[in-house]
Amino acid sequence: MRKDLDLKDLEQRLKKRRERLAKARRPIDPVVLDQSRIGRLTRMDAMQQQAMSSAAARLAQMEESRINTALQRMADGDYGYCVQCEEEIAQKRLEADPSALTCIRCARSLEQ
């Protein structure tokens, strides 16, 4: 267990972010394909909006999953350690993103 981290504050921030994500979640309306009711360009715009909403929902779901993982790691006493190399994650990185699961070095190697 990391003693240099304010776990209560980080936990509260994670829970607040998860609540905001849950409140922002909304169902995605299907696109009406009846050409007699709407024009082709309007339908294409609706399809694009639907695709963007789907992508945003997937990103929010991924973030919520990261938050849940971070909260579980707090409960297990593993929070603050990189899931790749098991070294400590920098305190400033966790303050910037409490749901971070990797240290900077491992995050960079995963991006390549």
How do the domains of the chain map onto residue ranges? 7-111
Task: Choose the weakest-confidence range: 6-15, 16-25, 95-104.
Answer: 16-25
Q: What pLDDT is attached to residue 46?
A: 76
Which CATH number applies to 7-111: 3.90.950.10, 3.40.50.150, 1.20.120.910, 3.40.50.720? 1.20.120.910
Q: Average pLDDT, whole number, for the chain?
A: 88
The tokens describing 41, both together, are 């360009």
Q: Is the pLDDT of residue 84 over 70?
A: yes
Give backbone dihedrals phi and psi of 81, rounded to 5 degrees, phi first.
-115, 140
Q: Are 11 and 70 in contact (CB under 8 A)?
A: no
The pLDDT > 70 percentage for the chain reads 88
Q: Which residues are within 8 A (CB) of 48 and not within 5 positions of it... i.e. 6 or more apart?
A: none
**What is the enclosing helix (H) or strand (E) of 15?**
helix 7-24
pTM, 2 dp: 0.76
